[in-house]
Amino acid sequence: MQFHKYHGLGNDYIVIDRNRERFNPTAKNIRLVCHRNYGIGSDGILYGPELLADGSFGLRIFNPDGSEAEKSGNGIRIFSRYLVEAGYAKQRSFTLSTLGGRVAVMVLSERADLFEVDMGTVTFQSAAIPVSGPPREMVDQPLEVVGTTYRATCLSIGNPHCVIPLPEVSRELALAIGPAVEQHPLFPHKINLQLLQVIDRKRIRIEIWERGAGYTLASGSSSCAAACAAHRLGLVDSELTVEMPGGSIGIAIQPDGHVLMTGPVAGVARGELADDLEAALE
């Protein structure tokens, strides 16, 4: 079975082509392939494309714990590069269909290593994120985590996010409170966490704990979520740069609410699973 591996600012994914390879995307198989000691190692698997009647490319996104994600900004850019390299995408613009909705993709470079993605619109409504309790906007709401009360803004951009603004952010704090936020009883489908530090009106810094994956060097959907939360709180302009440990992504919040994400993709490896690993799959 062949695989293709890429990363977006250190957030790495394995692409498995459902039309060319025999792979059963069970939780066990996904955990094994993503394992960094017993498998290839990655932050998830991108499985597709399903060639849909409307002309879009269907994509399934799996976290390394075997759960399925609705949307991933880095995953979308990575899968888009594979579509170009594998000959599926023959135009500079095309559409992907994910569990979190359809996204429009534009190839910005001849090498297909830079993409702009229309990630859709965000909602702060509790029922849509989802957040338990009475219907409300989840903007600047108290959230108690590990004995400390934070002010959190929660939203969905096809997948759920919890943004906590702080004077300074750190990897250590993301590791300390990330698991508790992800599994907080307020969030019935669990949630992604972004710790947000505003540098100036056009620049923010975030640390990320991803649902189903853990501490992450970079995340496209997290960048969109943090930028939208900061903008809604009046802390930043509509066009800004999001800095992460793995690198930076450009975000532009359009007047109609659509969020445009611009970021790179780099190839890592192409290869075949060894017989021993393939034999261990279901």
Domain count, the chain: 2
Q: CA–CA separation, 204 vs 197, rounded Å?
A: 6
22, burial (CB in 10 Å: exposed 0-12, middle 13-18, buried 19+) = exposed
Within this chain, do residues 87 and 168 fall inside the same structural domain, yes or no?
no
Residues 50-63: what's their mean pLDDT? Answer: 96
Give the rounded percent of residues in the chain with a pLDDT score beyond 90.
100
Q: CA–CA separation, 83 vs 167, rounded Å?
A: 41
What single-letter DSSP state applies at residue 128?
G
The per-residue pLDDT for 224 is: 98
User: Does 220 count as an annotated binding residue?
Assistant: yes
Pairing mode of beta strands 11-17, 45-51: parallel
Inter-residue contact 274 to 39 (CB < 8 Å): no
User: Does 159 count as an annotated binding residue?
Assistant: yes
State pLDDT tens for residues 150-190. Answer: 999 999 999 999 999 999 999 999 999 999 999 999 999 99
Q: What CATH number is associated with residue 204? A: 3.10.310.10
Within this chain, do residues 64 and 108 fall inside the same structural domain, yes or no?
yes
User: Does 24 count as an annotated binding residue?
Assistant: no
The per-residue pLDDT for 195 is: 98
Residues 41-55: what's their mean pLDDT? Answer: 96
Within this chain, do residues 97 and 189 fall inside the same structural domain, yes or no?
no
Tokens of 222: 């997290």
Within this chain, do residues 113 and 209 fall inside the same structural domain, yes or no?
no
Nearest Cα to 99, choosing from 62, 138, 55, 137? 62
User: Does 11 count as an annotated binding residue?
Assistant: yes
State pLDDT tens for residues 78-100. Answer: 999 999 999 999 999 999 999 99
Q: CA–CA separation, 76 vs 23, rounded Å?
A: 20
User: Does 74 count as an annotated binding residue?
Assistant: yes
Within this chain, do residues 91 and 199 fall inside the same structural domain, yes or no?
no
Inter-residue contact 178 to 191 (CB < 8 Å): no
Within this chain, do residues 135 and 241 fall inside the same structural domain, yes or no?
yes
Q: Does pTM surpass 0.75?
A: yes
User: Does 73 count as an annotated binding residue?
Assistant: yes
CA geometry: angle 252, 203, 116, nearest 5 deg = 30
Within this chain, do residues 9 and 108 fall inside the same structural domain, yes or no?
yes
Inter-residue contact 121 to 257 (CB < 8 Å): yes
Within this chain, do residues 175 and 239 fall inside the same structural domain, yes or no?
yes
For residue 50, the cross-strand partners are 58
Tally of CB atoms within 10 A around 70: 16
User: Does 221 count as an annotated binding residue?
Assistant: yes
Within this chain, do residues 109 and 131 fall inside the same structural domain, yes or no?
no
Residue span of the structural domain in which 82 resides: 2-119+265-279
Within this chain, do residues 167 and 115 fall inside the same structural domain, yes or no?
no
DSSP assignment of 222-254 equals HHHHHHHHHHHTTSS-SEEEEEETTEEEEEEE-
